[in-house]
Structure formats: C-alpha cells, structure tokens
Amino acid sequence: MELLKDKTLFWEANLDTIDAEKNKQYIIERVFERGTSKNIKELLYFYDINTIKQAIKQARWFDAKTMYFLSVYFDIPLEQMRCYTQRQLSPAPWA
C-alpha cells in the first residue's frame, strides 16, 4: 500500500514495521484525521467498507468536523461512534 510510505502522515512510526492488517485501526484513524483526499481514496480502495466503518465506530477521538463528516458520509449514527459518546461523557468545562 503506497499510503504506508507517507512520512508526513505517519511521522512518528517506523514505516518498515507498519502492517496494513495488524495496524488497520491506527491507519484508518490517521488518514481521516490528517490525510489528503488522495490518501482517503487509497484507503477506501484498500480496505472494505465494513472494516472502515468498524474502525470509525471504535476510534477514540476525531475532531468535531471530521466526526460529523464521517457520520454523514458513512451513514453511522453519532451514538454508535465511540469518539462521540466519550465526548458527551466528558464535555469541556467551558462549553
């Protein structure tokens, strides 16, 4: 997968040791957090839709814009997304 050679996306990881299957949660989260549209297209081509949806549901954190986009794009109710439910349990003190 060409995506795994992108040092700007996986700057803190050893690119030689990232395994596309073992590290799919990490890869999917990182691409949606920091990737380009080209990275996202490659991700959608490489992983099946159910794998991507499951990783989105299990993600611990996405910024609000990404979270709402993924919810709409993949038709995942916010209540099924771990990052949303955790955000609801511990809102920011100034909000």
Predicted pLDDT at 35: 94
The count of domains in the chain is 1
Q: Is the pTM higher than 0.85? A: yes
Can you list the alpha helix ranges (DSSP code H) found in 35-92?
Answer: 37-46, 49-58, 64-73, 82-89
Return the DSSP state at 6: -
* Per-residue model confidence as pLDDT tens for the chain (95 residues): 788 888 889 988 888 899 999 999 999 999 999 999 999 999 999 999 999 999 999 999 999 999 999 999 999 999 999 999 988 666 666 65
Q: What is the token pair recorded at 70?
A: 């993924």
Would you say residue 75 lies in a domain? yes
Would you say residue 83 lies in a domain? yes
Q: What are phi and psi of 76, to 5 degrees?
A: -115, 120
Q: Which is nearest to 54 in space by CA: 23, 19, 22, 25?
A: 25
Would you say residue 50 lies in a domain? yes
Please answer whether residues 10 and 2 qualify as being in contact, where contact means their C-beta atoms are separated by less than 8 angstroms.
Answer: no
Range of the domain at 32: 2-89
Would you say residue 30 lies in a domain? yes
